[in-house]
């Protein structure tokens, strides 16, 4: 599978393509090693065998490189999806399977971009929520079984955090009780609780 890299629009000097590919590969290789936050531009350049000044002719930032790398891969993913005919069967969401498959194929990439984001805060908060969910879920048996408890924990905790983050800056048009009601409803249905 050929990965298109950021900036492939139109004809491009081979040197440019080469340099960008080297840099993108380098940052992906580096992130699992020491975590994104700890990486310096110099690290990337040494790994890629590219002059540091060259880096700045392509990307303004470490962030810019990361962003471009992610974008390129997501683009190639969408393209794959479009080429396949979508066989919507009993499934509800079509986007997820291709994503899981792509994640498996480009494991190190996804791992680099998702897991070790170096975001301590989110991790701290997330662990707290996960513990709470796990505690409540271990009592009730989950759904009609077949769903590993840890999967359900991740599912619910992730949903909760997303909802919370969405609700917070929204001027709180919904009351806490109302948001909670919505969350309870969807979460309860998700784990197959009898309402």
Task: In whole angstroms, give the CA distance from residue 160 to residue 154.
Answer: 10
Output the CA–CA distances (angstroms, integers) from residue 60 to 19, 21, 29, 45, in the order listed: 15, 16, 20, 14
Does 61 bind DNA (CB under 7 A)? Our answer is: yes
Does 12 bind a second copy (CB under 8 A)? Our answer is: no
Does 38 bind a second copy (CB under 8 A)? Our answer is: no
Q: How far is the CB of 177 from DNA (least distance, A)?
A: 40
Choosing among a second copy, DNA, none, which partner's interface includes residue 127 (Cβ < 5 to 8 Å by kind)? none
The alpha carbon torsion through 32, 37, 43, 48 (nearest 10 deg) reads: 50
Q: How far is the CB of 130 from a second copy (least distance, A)?
A: 9
Residues 108-167 that bind a second copy (CB under 8 A): 110-111, 113-115, 117, 119-122, 124-126, 128-129, 132-133, 136, 140, 143, 146-148, 150-152, 154-167
H helical segments located in the chain: 14-34, 41-48, 52-58, 62-83, 96-105, 107-110, 120-139, 149-167, 176-190
Out of 7, 8, 35, 58, the residue judged to bind DNA by CB under 7 A: 58
Q: Which is nearer to DNA, 14 or 87 (by Cβ)?
A: 14
Classify residue 88 as left (phi > 0), alpha (psi -120 to 50) or beta.
beta
Q: Show the tokens assigned to 71.
A: 């974008």
* Cβ within 8 Å of residue 86, ≥6 positions away: 94
Task: In whole angstroms, give the CA distance from residue 152 to residue 148.
Answer: 7
Residues 77-106 that bind a second copy (CB under 8 A): 90-97, 99-101, 103-104
Does 49 bind DNA (CB under 7 A)? Our answer is: yes
Out of 2, 15, 173, 194, the residue judged to bind DNA by CB under 7 A: 15
Residues of the shown chain interacting with DNA in the complex, contacts defined by CB under 7 A: 11, 13-16, 18-19, 40-42, 49-54, 56-58, 60-62
């Amino acid at each position: 599978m050929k990965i298109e890299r950021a900036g492939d629009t139109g004809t491009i000097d081979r040197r440019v393509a080469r340099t960008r590919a080297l840099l993108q590969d380098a940052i992906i290789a580096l992130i699992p090693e020491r975590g994104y936050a700890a990486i310096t531009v110099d690290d990337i350049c040494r790994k890629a065998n590219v002059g540091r000044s060259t880096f700045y002719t392509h990307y303004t930032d470490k962030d810019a490189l990361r962003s471009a790398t992610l974008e390129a891969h997501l683009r190639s993913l969408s393209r794959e999806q479009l080429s396949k005919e979508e066989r919507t069967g009993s499934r509800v969401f079509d986007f997820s399977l291709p994503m899981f498959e792509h994640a498996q194929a480009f494991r190190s990439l996804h791992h680099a971009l998702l897991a070790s984001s170096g975001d301590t805060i989110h991790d701290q908060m997330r662990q707290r929520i996960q513990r709470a969910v796990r505690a409540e879920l271990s009592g009730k048996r989950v759904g009609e079984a077949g769903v590993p408890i840890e999967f359900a924990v991740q599912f619910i905790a992730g949903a909760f955090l997303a909802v919370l983050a969405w609700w917070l800056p929204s001027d709180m048009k919904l009351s806490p009780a109302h948001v909670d009601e919505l969350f309870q409803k969807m979460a309860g249905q998700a784990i197959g609780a009898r309402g």
